[in-house]
């Protein structure tokens, strides 16, 4: 269970001017599941960032990155309970809907959708779960697109604080960089076929401590038939290179495809982070670090 971090209990005359000392704190949820957050005493407003989970790859289709959304200075009541959901990562299989990433949310205030995939197997016969859809609440930016039916494609990067995640590369092509602090798209790899399976790189993830640098696009090297994962955005983690599994980086990176669903990459799970007071701490970058 995540541990709450609070600085400064509410007390009269906290600064010697007869006012209350502000309550400062934060709480991060980074494991998939459903949680209950209780607003601490003295906390009446919060700012929240949520990242949806990345989709997993399968067959010849790579997963899109999860959406990032944030909302600032939203009202809460001390002592009241609020539901937090962290989206589970997308799997890398050929059937069902387990390959799309699940949404992350805070109460009914904000929801960041997970990345999806464009087609189910066999080719084009069962269109479902369009790869990128917007959630609700606050301000949001989509994760980067995956690639459909192009062999060993790279996963899409997670959305950023002011721009979309990078797009995964098609076979034998680089991914694109993330924008606005988003994760980069993973590179595509050598086409699947008689010579074996070559995974693309996973999409880069985006961090939850506020806006930072853009994730770079993954790169394909023809001489060695290797594809790197997309770079990390805003302090997240990079996508995994194709030779190591092609999984998405935390949080919200999409998984690669490979031409073989058994070895395609997983997406990365989502995350939710709450900071307070919302009146003075706000995303994308105003006092958003841990305090």
* Average pLDDT rounded to a whole number, residues 274-278: 98
Do β-strands 24-29 and 220-221 pair in parallel, antiparallel, or remain unpaired? unpaired
Per-residue pLDDT at 267 exceeds 60: yes
Position 22 scores a pLDDT of 81
Position 17 scores a pLDDT of 42
Give the least confident one: 14-28, 31-45, 90-104, 241-255: 14-28
Residue with the bigger pLDDT between 70 and 119: it is: 70
Position 1 scores a pLDDT of 45
Per-residue pLDDT at 118 exceeds 80: no
Q: Tell me the three state secondary structure of residue 41.
A: coil
Position 12 scores a pLDDT of 33
b/e code 197-218 from CB counts within 10 Å (16+ = b): bbbbbbbbbbbbbbbbebbbbb
Position 161 scores a pLDDT of 98
Q: Is 135 within 8 Å of 85 (Cβ atoms)?
A: no
Tell me the sheet residues that pair with 26: 5, 275
Summary mean pLDDT of the chain:
87
b/e code 63-85 from CB counts within 10 Å (16+ = b): bbbbbbbbbbebebeeeeebebb
For every residue of 210-278, DSSP letters joined together read S--PPPPPP-EETTTTEEPPPPPBTT--PPPPGGGT-PPPTTTPPPP--SSGGGPPPPPP-EEEEEE-T
Q: In angstroms, rounded to a whole number, what is the distance separating the alpha carbons of residues 59 and 79? A: 48
* Average pLDDT rounded to a whole number, residues 45-68: 93
Q: In angstroms, rounded to a whole number, what is the distance separating the alpha carbons of residues 131 and 106? A: 22
Give the pLDDT band (50/70/90) at residue 16. Answer: very low
Q: Give this prediction's pTM.
A: 0.91
Neighbours of 7 (CB within 10 A): 13
């Amino acid at each position: 269970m995540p541990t709450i971090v609070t600085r400064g209990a509410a007390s009269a005359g906290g600064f010697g001017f007869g006012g209350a000392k502000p309550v400062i704190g934060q709480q991060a949820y980074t494991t998939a599941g459903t949680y209950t957050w209780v607003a601490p005493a003295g906390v009446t407003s919060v700012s929240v960032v949520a990242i949806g989970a990345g989709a997993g790859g399968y067959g010849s289709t790579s997963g899109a990155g999860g959406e990032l959304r944030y909302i600032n200075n939203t009202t809460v009541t001390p002592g009241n309970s609020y539901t937090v959901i962290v989206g589970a990562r997308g799997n890398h299989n050929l059937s069902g809907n387990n390959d799309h990433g699940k949404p992350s949310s805070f109460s009914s205030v904000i929801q960041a959708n997970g990345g999806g995939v464009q087609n189910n197997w066999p080719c084009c016969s069962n269109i479902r779960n369009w790869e990128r859809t917007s959630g609700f609440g606050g301000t949001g930016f989509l994760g980067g697109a995956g690639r459909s039916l192009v062999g060993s494609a790279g996963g899409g990067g997670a959305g950023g604080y002011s721009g979309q995640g990078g797009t995964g590369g098609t076979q034998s092509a680089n991914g694109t960089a993330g924008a606005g602090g988003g994760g980069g798209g993973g590179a595509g790899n050598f086409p699947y076929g008689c010579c074996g399976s070559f995974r693309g790189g996973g999409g880069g993830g985006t961090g939850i401590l506020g806006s930072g640098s853009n994730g770079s696009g993954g790169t394909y090297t023809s001489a060695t038939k290797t594809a790197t994962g997309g770079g990390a955005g805003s302090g997240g983690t990079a996508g995994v290179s194709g030779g190591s599994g092609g999984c998405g980086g935390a949080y919200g990176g999409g998984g690669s495809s490979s031409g073989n669903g058994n070895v395609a990459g997983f997406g990365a799970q989502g995350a939710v982070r709450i900071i307070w007071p919302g009146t003075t701490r706000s995303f994308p970058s105003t006092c958003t670090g841990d305090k």
